Amino acid sequence: MNEQQKKQMSDIAVATEMLLTAKTGVASLAAAITETANPDLRKTLRSQLNRAIQTQEEISSYMISKGYYHPHNVQEQINLDLQASQAVLGMSQQSQTQSGSTNTQSQYC
């Protein structure tokens, strides 16, 4: 994997983490609203929920524009997820190989 591919995989990972965090925020705020009896607090939480939904939409739009997210094409998303998984496995194997050669070298120093 070349440096550009590594950077893209890193960008995808960061964007995906942001999207998952935004979705979790939406779900948590929605749950909090249903558990709140105070009208002022409900109003505040609704405002925060609307902002969280807007943030999630912005992140989704960014990811779609970059080709990192395919919510309307399941097969394309599966292919992208498989590529990402294979890249991570490849990076892990490279790391283990490099770690093994470093350990061997340090034994003989």
Q: Where are the domains of the chain?
A: 3-107
Residues 6 or more apart whose CB falls under 8 angstroms from that of 69 comprise 15, 16, 19, 60, 63, 77, 80
Rounded CA separation 62/68 (Å): 8
Mean pLDDT value of segment 98-103 = 60
Would you call 9 helix, strand, or coil by DSSP? Answer: helix
Percent of the chain with pLDDT over 90: 50
How confident is the model at residue 83, as a pLDDT?
A: 81
Burial label for 8, CB within 10 Å (0-12, 13-18, 19+), is: middle
Mean pLDDT value of segment 33-48 = 97
User: Are residues 46 and 30 in contact, defined by beta-carbon separation less than 8 angstroms?
Assistant: no
Cα 87 to the center of its chain, rounded Å: 15
Tokens of 51: 């902002």
